[in-house]
Structure 1
Amino acid sequence: MSQRKSQSKSVHVDEAKADALHQYQDTEGHFSLVRNFRLADLVTIMNGVCGSFSIFSSARYLLTNDPDYLWSAMAFPLAGLMFDFLDGKVARWRKSSSMLGQELDSLADLISFGVAPSLLAFVVGLRTYLDTVILTGFICCGLARLARFNATVALIPKNNGGKAKYFEGLPIPSSLALVGILSYWTKNGWIAGQQGLPWGTTTLWGAPGGRGEVHYVSLIFACWAAAMVSKTLRVPKL
């Protein structure tokens, strides 16, 4: 009986996907993609907009050394989280979703909670060669975590409301905790150009200041990256 229900549900999902695909295929014109967006999709895109503004604000800080740009860069990911929460509520309110929604959500999350926090870490002082290797790994682990979620979400046990009971690995929006740490360091002047990052650096090989130098605090990002792609770490979903 359960197998029959599962097959029936699978057929229903396949039919829904086919209908959605026909919707995109049958709509023609230069702006047909935009016309097929749902309101929830536009809210999701605003998450990506916030992440992009954070990146450009970080770049402006590096050019001007104006702290207002740095604080803006730290605030925009928080605004992105607001839109990340809001898009699901809008989809349920409008009782409409699209095939693009899940993909848009993951791509926007990568910008706001992967790339933007990594660039913020670089801006405040994680600028050695090994620091950038670790930050690149952080972004790639976030990317892998989002891809795995999209591919395996159907396999995760659901509650009575149809939502997944837990996350496998840390969800990428958790990187806002790292942004909070960077904000605290900025407030206390523990950044590049002022007092410098806490705990300093160590040299794994070569001369100090060379490619083998790394900040101790980079290990926080390394551990966070490992937690995002962990298969055994299960975070209850609220």
Structure 2
Amino acid sequence: MAMPELGTVQKHTPQRRGMYVLPSLFTAGNIAAGYYALTESIRGAAGDPRAFDHAALAIGFAVMFDGLDGRVARMTNTSSDFGKEFDSLADVITFGVAPSLLAYLWGVHAVLPSAYPEVQERLRGLGIVICFLFLICGACRLARFNISVNPQPRNPGRPGRKYFVGMPIPAGAGVIAAVVHFELGSPIHELWLSGVWLALLAFTGFLMVSSWRFWSGKELNFAERQPVRGVLLIVVVLALVIWFSEYALIAIAMAYLLSGVLARLAYSWGRRSTAS
């Protein structure tokens, strides 16, 4: 019986180890974008409103990196426990800490002195609490996702289609980044607008810890022989984002946020009509 060659196994080992590093590189890019967003938010609070826009764009790029690391890991069959934990820690920094700081400095701290100083002081304290709650809701959303096995939303959708239970934390951070970028970094100066901004933040945090369904996009399979619809969709979206980034990004972010709300309302109305 012929003996197997010793070099056969050793030849594939270095390549396999290198493939495991590939998804972590995208996760590292995620963290780098989050760190850059933090530094730009602080610079924006120092008097440069363009830095707020840079921070928002960095969070937007991080959303792209976050989508790529998991897909690359699945396509190359290099998923690992280390990669999952590394990705979760990166998401807390980039989609939790960075957007919460950006939301406070852009939408609360920059409010100009008004005729109601006591109200403004209370609003600043409320802003600290709500921005912190946004961070906590995002961290709880990640923890629930990590320990859940085949989670099911309270308002089930189409059979056979996979949904997220609660809004994903990258989408929540995307809402903040899209609004800031829509204003090109120009911060909120009016007291009443700051209150509306905090209401949006609180509602977004609630959606992340809710059990409502949100589209996951996992049925898009680019490994098919003719993934024409998926490719065309991505090309159209990228073109809109490049040419009309302010309008395209806020439209995508708000449409995704409202999709979960409308799905929940439709399910509630359907149950009431069935019961009646």
Residue 182 of structure 1 deviates from its aligned partner by: 2.2
* Percent of aligned pairs with the same amino acid: 36
Instruction: Report the aligned-residue RMSD.
Output: 2.5
Change (3 A) 1:177 1:66: same
Match of 1:168 in 2: 165
- SS in structure 2 at match of 1:155: coil
Matches of 1:139 and 1:164, distance apart in 2 = 29
Q: Contact 1:52–1:112 (CA<8 Å) still a contact in 2? A: yes
Matches of 1:164 and 1:100, distance apart in 2 = 28
Match of 1:106 in 2: 88
Match of 1:25 in 2: none
Matches of 1:173 and 1:37, distance apart in 2 = 23
Question: Which one of the candidate residues 31, 39, 44 is aligned to 1:56?
Answer: 39
Calculate the TM-score normalised by the size of structure 1.
0.68
Match of 2:192 in 1: 199
List gaps (5 residues or longer) in structure 2.
1-16, 110-123, 153-159, 218-276
Matches of 2:30 and 2:98, distance apart in 1 = 12
Structure 1 segments of 4+ aligned residues over 4 angstroms from their partners: 34-37
Residue 35 of structure 1 deviates from its aligned partner by: 8.8
Q: Which has the higher helix share?
A: 2
Residue 47 of structure 1 deviates from its aligned partner by: 0.6
Match of 2:107 in 1: 125
- Cα deviation, 1:16-40, whole Å, max 9, x if unaligned, reads xxxxxxxxxxxxxxxxxx9996211
- SS in structure 2 at match of 1:38: helix
Question: Which one of the candidate residues 134, 140, 143 is aligned to 2:130?
Answer: 134
- SS in structure 2 at match of 1:96: coil
Question: Which one of the candidate residues 212, 216, 219 is aligned to 1:237?
Answer: 216
Code of the aligned partner of 2:41:
S
Match of 2:143 in 1: 147
Change (3 A) 1:198 1:130: closer
Change (3 A) 1:35 1:86: closer
List gaps (5 residues or longer) in structure 1.
1-33, 158-162, 202-214
Match of 2:203 in 1: 223
Matched, 1:156 2:118: no
Matches of 1:223 and 1:38, distance apart in 2 = 37
Residue 116 of structure 1 deviates from its aligned partner by: 1.4
Residue 133 of structure 1 deviates from its aligned partner by: 0.3
Match of 1:93 in 2: 75
Question: Which one of the candidate residues 178, 181, 184 is aligned to 2:179?
Answer: 181
Q: Contact 2:107–2:197 (CA<8 Å) still a contact in 1? A: no
Match of 1:38 in 2: 21
- Cα deviation, 1:94-153, whole Å, max 9, x if unaligned, reads 22122111112222122222221111111213230111100000000000010000000x
Matched, 1:71 2:69: no
